Amino acid sequence: MTNKGIRIFANVIRTALIGATAAVTLAACMRTPEEKAEIAARRAAPTAVVMGPTKGGVPAEGGLAHYPDGYPSFGAPLTAANVQMNDEQAADLQRKLSALGAQRKAGTISEAEYQRRVEEYRKLAAEHGPETLSEITK
Domain extent, residue 20, equals: 3-43
pLDDT at res. 63: 55
Regarding whether 90 and 71 lie in a shared domain, the answer is no
Residue 48 CA to residue 80 CA, distance in Å, equals 8
Task: Check whether residue 14 and residue 55 sit in a common domain.
Answer: no
User: In this predicted structure, what is the pLDDT of residue 133?
Assistant: 73
| Pair (100, 124) in one structural domain | yes
Residue 83's pLDDT is what? 66
97, 122 Cβ separation under 8 angstroms: no
pLDDT number for residue 28: 66
Do 90 and 58 fall within a single domain?
no
Q: What is the DSSP letter of 58?
A: P
Helix (H, G, I), strand (E, B) or coil at 66: strand
CA distances in angstroms from 63 to 50, 60, 70, 80, 129, listed in the order given:
10, 10, 14, 9, 21
Q: What is the pLDDT along the chain (138 residues), one digit of tens a residue?
A: 688 888 899 999 999 999 988 888 877 677 788 888 888 888 888 777 776 665 655 544 455 677 778 777 777 666 666 666 778 888 888 888 888 888 888 888 888 888 888 888 788 777 777 777 777 776
Of all residues in the chain, what percent carry a pLDDT higher than 90? 6
In the chain, where do the E strands start and end? Answer: 65-66, 72-73
The number of domains in the chain is 3
Whether residue 97 is found in the same domain as residue 70: no
